[in-house]
Amino acid sequence: MNGKNLMMHGPSGNGKTVACKNLFQELQEETDGIEVLYINCWQKNTSFKIMSDMADQLGFKFTHNLKTDELFKLVKQKINKGSAVFCFDEADKIEDFDFLYMLLEEIYRKSIILITNYHQWLINLDPRIKSRLTPDTLEFKSYSMDEIDGILRERISYAFFENVWQEDAVKLIVQKAYGVSDIRAGLYLLKESALIAESSSSKRIGTDHARKAIEKLVEFTIKNSADLEDETRFILTVVKKNPSLKMGELFKLYEKEGGKSVYKTFTRKIAKLAENKFVTLERAIGGSEGNTTIVNYLSTASKKEEKKLTDF
């Protein structure tokens, strides 16, 4: 029998991934005959990459010469002996959906979980996939101030000796994390404040250290760049090395450094980086070539942008 499918959605840093991973761990520990496959689609964004990742997770070796449908054959044979739960995290980064169609059609006993930041994303899926998927939806709302307070204090209790943190410093960080509505920013601030306190040989972490950490928050990209697929990460390093360039100039440097994508793909990847706050885009109007876009790495972004991120 088929299990239910689920779409989890909600803003960044509010526990979607961690909830799914906890569920998977429970399934693995407490059940037999259910394969659990978690895939981060920011790195694995095509049917081919997803299939090879699944074959990998299922323990198949020497698969590097196989094509998507050959990989799927292996995956299917193994999974159809029992059942499976799939989680496709960062699902809005998926570039083609053939793999999903294959799973929906040819895997018999399964549940599929999709995680995305955008509720709207489902609406634009191919109707043939949508009608086969018909997922329940589960919205992850942003954490309240109290919830953030609880989560951060729990982390503190695991990671620090008692009385290291001054109460006002904790409050400051809780407020900041609530202000940017991202628990990940709060965790970053805990770590950064501790490093700052340590480097000034202070035994306690106070508001001065927390404030300095908050100033640095702009350097913190909301998502970890390790999550990016290789090509996008390569583009990000080119932006980082060459700040404040026009899109066209940047593309030339990218090609010089060995980049292989065409201009259109390149600009699409830059737009995704901007959407996820790795880079900023600024429209420059006029000039000899007409309107252009200036690309900047976020930590070198304009003061205005910096203010927006550090004000709450």
Ligand X SMILES: Nc1ncnc2c1ncn2[C@@H]1O[C@H](COP(=O)(O)OP(=O)(O)OP(=O)(O)O)[C@@H](O)[C@H]1O
- Which of the listed partners (ligand X, Mg ion, none) does 14 bind, with a CB threshold of 5 to 8 Å by partner kind? ligand X
Per-residue contact string for residues 13-52; x = within reach of Mg ion by CB under 5 A:
----x-----------------------------------
Q: Measured between alpha carbons, how far is 191 from 199 in angstroms, rounded to an integer?
A: 12
Long-range contacts of 31-37 (CB under 8 A, 24+ apart): 33/82, 33/83, 34/82, 34/83, 34/84, 34/85, 35/78, 35/79, 35/82, 35/83, 35/84, 35/85, 36/84, 36/85, 36/87, 37/84, 37/85, 37/86, 37/87
Question: Minimum CB separation from ligand X for residue 137, in Å?
Answer: 15
Q: Measured between alpha carbons, how far is 36 from 21 in angstroms, rounded to an integer?
A: 10
Residues 86-125 that bind ligand X (CB under 6 A): 117
- Which of the listed partners (ligand X, Mg ion, none) does 40 bind, with a CB threshold of 5 to 8 Å by partner kind? none
Q: Measured between alpha carbons, how far is 265 from 249 in angstroms, rounded to an integer?
A: 15
- Which of the listed partners (Mg ion, ligand X, none) does 52 bind, with a CB threshold of 5 to 8 Å by partner kind? none
Task: List the one residue from 223, 233, 246, 277 that touches ligand X (CB under 6 A).
Answer: 223
Task: List the one residue from 18, 159, 262, 271 that touches ligand X (CB under 6 A).
Answer: 18
Stretch that binds ligand X, among 52-60, 63-71, 179-187, 255-263 (CB under 6 A): 179-187
Q: Is 135 in the site for ligand X (CB under 6 A)?
A: no
Q: Is 41 in the site for ligand X (CB under 6 A)?
A: no
Please name the amino acid found at residue 158.
Y
Q: CB within 8 A of 167, min separation 6: which ones?
A: none
Q: Is 142 in the site for Mg ion (CB under 5 A)?
A: no
- The footprint of ligand X (CB under 6 A) covers 12-18, 117, 151, 183-184, 187, 223
